[in-house]
Structure 1
Amino acid sequence: MRLVCHRRAFLLAAAGGAALPALARARDADVPYVPTPPEVVEGMLDMAGLKPGERLIDLGSGDGRIPMAAVRRGASALGVEIDSDLVARARAKARFQGLEGRVHFVRDDLFTVSLRDADVVTLYLLPNINERLKPKLLSEMKPGARVVSHAFDMGDWPPEQHREVSEKHVYLWTIPAIAGGAWRLTRSDGSTATLAIEQRYSRVSGTLDGRAIRDAQLAGAALSFTSDGVPYRGIVGDRTIVGDAWRAERID
């Protein structure tokens, strides 16, 4: 539980310090229903790199076209929609198209539904809703999971990709692991060093024994940097970073 709280606190701070209980009062009913064009649906799934067997959650799913397109690609999908008429319409379309049992639709608040098992979350909301969702996305989704938004970005969280599909804007983000903080790094030869990392979303910088690291990158849980000409690559966990010839443990 302590590790979960650490991740949540760090990412809430990165997202501006908003508190999720307050967010739950905002309803996706505040977002008018405007269908996403079919070509944009496919462009969003292409940008997400959705793979067979992955789990997609569409927040504000409307008539269900994004989740149904996802299951046609071999994924499982959940549509979350506050409008009961739209939920009924989506379920009826899934039955008609022979997708019942492969895709599910629920009437729920997009701020309270769990995103913990999502590999991809898709959005077509409004800028203020995206901003208020940002802490939830960062704190609940696992490192390496992807977020794709039609039309609107995430404010100060820069997208990794931005494309135009049929003259519509589509944005992609990857959920970062929590690399920020102080780490005790141990190399395979037994030597040790202190790694200090500063993090803002996926942007990282820092020092190794007080000397600036270079070419630092964080992609999901994959961290890489160079120090004194030596490349370091590792996978960030809750309390460790594991590399091929080194390992780091978080310093509380």
Structure 2
Amino acid sequence: MWKTVSFGILSVASLGVILPGIWVSLPGNAQLTPPPSPEVSPSPVKPDSSSPMSERVVTSLLKLAEVSQDDVLYILGSGDGQLAIAAAQTYKPKRIVVIDPNSELIQQSQANAQEAGFGDRIQFLQQEPLQSNLREATVVAISLPTEKGQQIRSKLLADLKPGTRIVSHGMPMGDWKPDKSISVSRSSQQNLYHWIVPANIEGDWQGSLEYAPGRRHPYTLRFSQQFQKVKGDVIVDGQKYNIPKIALTGDRLTFSRTENIQGQTMTAVFNGRVQGNTLKGIAELDAGILSRKFPVIAKRSTRQAAQ
């Protein structure tokens, strides 16, 4: 499990009750009339792979996923095939794969796609999603029973590349909070969720900053993370400085730190990408006439990279 990430870099130091009715016996001729049965509100809809999606849900889910022609879309839970058909018709991703263990649903969905004229654009696989290879996906749409949330979460985090978008029809994934969520129907309490798979940046990252020609200063960035939520510090000359503003979106990392030194406000902002065990980007120091941009390259420590 990922934990929180701390990250410290360009410190300026581096530059200086309803009960059921009960029948009882009463004395004499007294009678007790049983209370009327209470009205029971319909339970919220719990979508699964056999539940056809409404047109509104289909449209909203694909829009939330931001599907494009460059995407490879995997759909877990076939329903009646309308989600895949709508994606092929409107967004035209370069590949669509529908996975469901139910042979009847796969056959029905395939027949619907064929009738709609998209039979050759959509691949249907009768498989258990937890056993399927999802590594090629850039977008994953989920319509599975809610009790599978924890299991599918582990599968998605293990298989998918950082930056892959995930959308779900009514299925949260435990303490992995969505980046976005919308409600498509108040009456049925249907929610749609959106996540972006985060890069793993847990650990210590070593780098050095060239603050003048031929002069470099070493630093350590220390991160902890829980999914896309990151905490971090920068360690310079044995001093630890907290980084208060960190954002991790897929493999893109940004953070900033502001300090006031001798009446001068200095802000360092980093924008970069996580590439395995290498962090690359540009740090911009806003310090008046001393404002500069610095290339930043940091490597994750060997011990942590091997874990």
TM-score class, shorter: 0.7 to 0.9
Matches within 5 A, 1:6-45: 13-14=1-2, 33-45=50-62
1:205 is matched with 231
| Partner-residue secondary structure (3-state), 2:87 | helix
Distance 2:145 2:210 in 1: 50
The structure in which a higher percent of residues are helix is 1
Unaligned runs of 5+ in 1: 1-12, 16-30
2:263 is matched with none
* Corresponding position: 1:231 with 2:269: yes
1:135 is matched with 154
Give the CA RMSD over aligned residues.
Answer: 1.5
TM-score (norm 2): 0.70
* Corresponding position: 1:58 with 2:75: yes
The structure 1 segments of at least 4 consecutive aligned residues displaced by more than 3 Å after TM superposition are none
- Matching residue within 147, 166, 176 for 2:198: 176
- Larger RCO (CA under 8 A, 6+ residues apart): 2
Contact 2:252 2:274 in 1 (8 A): yes
Unaligned runs of 5+ in 2: 4-47, 259-266, 283-294, 303-307
* Corresponding position: 1:122 with 2:141: yes
Distance 1:67 1:185 in 2: 46
Distance 1:248 1:140 in 2: 25
Report the structure number with the largest CA radius of gyration: 2
2:289 is matched with none
| Partner-residue secondary structure (3-state), 1:128 | helix
Cα distance, 1:188 vs structure 2: 4.5
2:7 is matched with none
Contact 2:62 2:87 in 1 (8 A): yes
Cα distance, 1:172 vs structure 2: 0.5
Cα distance, 1:32 vs structure 2: 6.2
Cα distance, 1:206 vs structure 2: 1.0
Contact 1:180 1:198 in 2 (8 A): yes
1:220 is matched with 250
Letter of the structure 2 residue corresponding to residue 226 of structure 1: S
1:18-73 CA distance string (max 9 Å, x none): xxxxxxxxxxxxx5611111110110110111111201111111222112211121
Cα distance, 1:202 vs structure 2: 0.1
1:165 is matched with 184
1:22 is matched with none
Contact 2:2 2:202 in 1 (8 A): no
TM-score (norm 1): 0.85
Q: Identity of counterpart residues, as a percentage?
A: 29
| Partner-residue secondary structure (3-state), 1:186 | strand
- Structure 1 residues 94 and 188, CA gap change in structure 2 (3 angstroms): farther
